[in-house]
Structure formats: structure tokens, C-alpha cells
Amino acid sequence: MISDGNKRHGLATISLLLMLTLFPVLDPAAAEQTDDSEGPPLSTGESPDFGEVYNHYARFIAGMPVPGGELAALQKKPAWVEYSRYLDRSWSSLNKRLLIPERQWAEKELGAAASWEGSVFYPFSGPDFANVHAFFPRSRTYVLVALETLGEIPRFAGMSDGQLKSYFESMKNSLRDLLNINYFISSHMDAEIEKTEIKGVLPVLLFKLARSNAQVLDVRYWTMGMDGNVREFPALGTTAREFPALGARDLDLNNIPGIRITFRTPASRDAAPQTLYYFRLDLSNGSFDRNPSFLAFLKGLAPFTTFMKSASYVMSSDKVSAARELMLDQSRYIVQEDSGIPLKYFEPSLWSLRFHGRYVRPISAFSQKYQKDLASVYRSDKKIKPLPFGFGYYFNPGEANLMFGEKRSGDRGRDEAPDDHSDDKHFLYINSILQRQQRGS
């Protein structure tokens, strides 16, 4: 994302919590059950079976048909009909112009990385699920981290015609940057998401999932305290009283709030559920120092793929050196453009790098972030292929750059998690990390 003036920028218990969080137990029968009623509000801590209700909400927000229930009745409203037609046209254009070319290019150029089933870490993401899913559709876990508030699933059935129209207009405005230039401008997001009926990123994430042909199985709010204690709440029925992060615009320094969405897509092997996390977190060094349990959570997902685009060149700052080191230490692959980690931090003996597209001076807001060493690579390497789509701040084909980094096999680190992410192996792996940290090794 581009920032507005650069402003936006124990241990067995913890192990068990991490294991349960990373491997939620889903009841297959419950996932397939159809429930057309939205049900009464729920008290915090309950674990209800909403059946298809979350998927119905995702499709309704995305302007896609819902087969039954109260939401289906609302599809006859003129405001929804116009909204649906607008999204059909806009998403079709984005898909043909960008998402399909991204997917086809990744399958051809990224080799084994394009079939990656491990975790993908996407810092400074905003609610951008569509792009990371286009590159890595088979990933079992996506971790998005940004500063935008969480948001809520609206109760459409209680809205008047005027309120419905206003909500859909706010959604269209919040999606306009994504659909036209493929990144979110933070000042626009603040105006159209956080200060309107949208209230945060959750409706936008549900829109992206539904339009990416995902079946949404479950949606939960998630929070981790500084002690590593994890709490979850169902997204439907939870209020700010039970989960204060819903009503907060300021960052909570004592807890990390987030969203956990489980879903299925056609790309998922054996139709296994996939998980999308969104965390509202400042990635500065101070934040990492305050939250060692969350750092252990991220390391428990390693080795992961790091994906970055439109990252406001934040990774060039020493204020985020801990996050930068985490990505370089724990990533097997890194896909980014020049707004990500500067080239000078990639040790040639550790990383094999491939470059694509063309490198030009950054857009005016970040003109001081020009990298002479990167420009030299693009000038001297005559084998660099064009990039058939826009990426990052240069959203037109033929203008953007992209770097693909693969860690050399001899230096993938002792903390690399087993490729088989079974519950038992992952539990033992998390334990080994935390025991070493306790010993100070």
C-alpha cells in the first residue's frame, strides 16, 4: 500500500495454543451443512455451526447470487442489482487484465514455488487476498499483516433501502483503487473503509475470497496477548463489548487482534481447508520486542514464502530491521518488487535471485528510494524478460519490476519446519523452538 505522508506505516501452553491455532479442527459434515437462517446473536466464546451462512455473506458482499434465506430476498433490491452488475464488470476486467496473467506467469516462471503449499507471509498487505492467491493458489495458510481496522459482517436484513444503497456505494468506493490500479491508497482506505459503514477490512476480504471462487467455511476474530494467550470469537454475533478491537481505531499495544477465515478453493489439494489470517500489527522493532509469542507463531509457519507489493518502501528503514531479518531468515522464497526489501540485504551466497520486467525510478512519492545497485542489475543483464502485467505502483504492463528470490539449499536454517505439516511434527517443531529460546540458544 502507499501511505499518506508515510505516517501509516511458558511454554508448553503456548505451544499447544499455536498448534491449535495453526491447525483448526473442522467438522466436515458441519462445513457442508446448509443453513439458510442467519440465527440470533451469539454470546462470546460459543462455537456455533453457521453452516453456509458465512459463505452466503461473502457471496452477497461480492455481488454474487445467494441460493436462499434473508440475503437471497435482498438480491431483488435495485441497489444490490446495480452493485452486482458493477462488480461483475469490474472483476471480469481485473481478472483478464491482471489476475489470470499473474497466475499463468507464476506457473511458468516460478517453478516449484508456484505449487507452494506451505505458508505465505504478506506484510503491508491491506485486505489484498486476490494478488497473493493468484501467485500461490495452493498455499494452506496466508498471513496478511497491515494497520487497517478489522471490520464487521453487517446485518443487511435490518437495513433500509437507503442504508443498503449507502453501504454498496461505500464498498464500491473502497474497492475502486484495487479494481483500477491494483493497490490500496491508505488515505482512501481510511476515508472509505474505516470511516464509513464498511468499518474495516473484513467485508473486503470476504469479497476477494468469494470472487476468487472460494467457499468460506468459518470466520472468527482472533487475538493474542503479550503472554501468548489466544482467544477467538465467532464473527457473527460478537460485539465490541466482547472483543474491544472492533471499536478501536488506535493500535492495542497489549494485544494483537486479527481475523481467521477458513475456506476451500478449487486449487486446494484434496479439497483440504485453507486458512487466511489478517493481523492488525505495527511491524516496527518495538512491536516485535513486545510480542515474542507472536514472533514464535510466525516462525512456527516457516519456512514460508514472503510476498510484497506496494509496500511503501518501509523495509529500507532500520526501524523495521527485526521484521526484515525475520523474512530473510525464515523465507524459502521471496516475491516482491522494489518497494520490498532492498537488494543490498540479499547476501549472494545465501540467495539465488531472478529479475523480471524493467526497473525505473520509483513514483514521485518515493523518488528518494531509487536503488542504484538494482538499476545496475537491470542495465547489465540483457536476459531479463518483460513482465506481462503491472505490479506494485507501476500498474500498467511493461512498466513494472519483479524479483524472485530462492534461498540456496545449503542455508535454509535449523529452524526450517518439516515439509509435512502434520499436527504431531508441527507440535514437536514448535516445542523445539521454544525450548531453545528458553535455554537462550
Chain-centre distance for alpha carbon 394? 21
Q: How far apart are CA 260 and CA 262, in angstroms?
A: 7
- AA letter at 194: E
Q: How far apart are CA 121 and CA 22, in angstroms?
A: 14
246 confidence band (pLDDT: 50, 70, 90)? confident
Percent of the chain, pLDDT > 70? 77
**Total residues found in the chain within this entry:** 441
Closest listed residue to residue 115, CA positions, set 267, 225, 251, 264: 267
> pLDDT at residue 366 above 90?
yes
State the pLDDT at residue 38: 35
Give me the mean pLDDT over the 378-403 stretch.
92
The answer to whether 432 and 426 are in contact (CB under 8 A) is no
C-alpha cell at 407: 534461498
What is the reported pTM? 0.81
Give me the mean pLDDT over the 358-385 stretch.
95
> pLDDT at residue 275 above 80?
yes
Give me the mean pLDDT over the 354-363 stretch.
96
Burial per residue of 145-179, b for 16 or more beta-carbon CB atoms within 10 angstroms, e otherwise = bbbbbbbbbbebeebeeeebbebbbbbbebbebbb
Give me the mean pLDDT over the 56-71 stretch.
94
Cis amide prior to 303 (ω within 30 degrees)? yes
Digit-coded pLDDT (tens) for 190-206: 555 555 578 889 999 99
Q: Which H/E stretch holds residue 285?
A: helix 285-290
217-220 own/partner pairs: CB under 8 Å, 24+ apart: 217/26, 217/31, 217/54, 217/55, 217/262, 217/263, 217/264, 217/273, 218/24, 218/26, 218/31, 218/50, 218/54, 218/260, 218/261, 218/262, 219/54, 219/153, 219/259, 219/260, 219/261, 220/259, 220/260, 220/261
- Least confident segment among 44-58, 175-189, 305-319, 413-427: 413-427
- Least confident segment among 1-10, 52-61, 108-117, 198-207: 1-10
> pLDDT at residue 417 above 60?
no
- Least confident segment among 75-79, 131-135, 169-173, 416-420: 416-420
> pLDDT at residue 27 above 90?
no
State the pLDDT at residue 265: 92
Give me the mean pLDDT over the 106-128 stretch.
94
The answer to whether 12 and 438 are in contact (CB under 8 A) is no
Q: How far apart are CA 391 and CA 342, in angstroms?
A: 17
> pLDDT at residue 353 above 50?
yes
Give me the mean pLDDT over the 348-373 stretch.
96
Q: How far apart are CA 387 and CA 130, in angstroms?
A: 18
Closest listed residue to residue 80, CA positions, set 199, 9, 164, 182: 164
Residue for grid cell 481496522: 149
68 confidence band (pLDDT: 50, 70, 90)? confident
**Domain spans, the chain:** 11-439
State the pLDDT at residue 31: 35
Q: Average model confidence (pLDDT) for the chain? A: 82
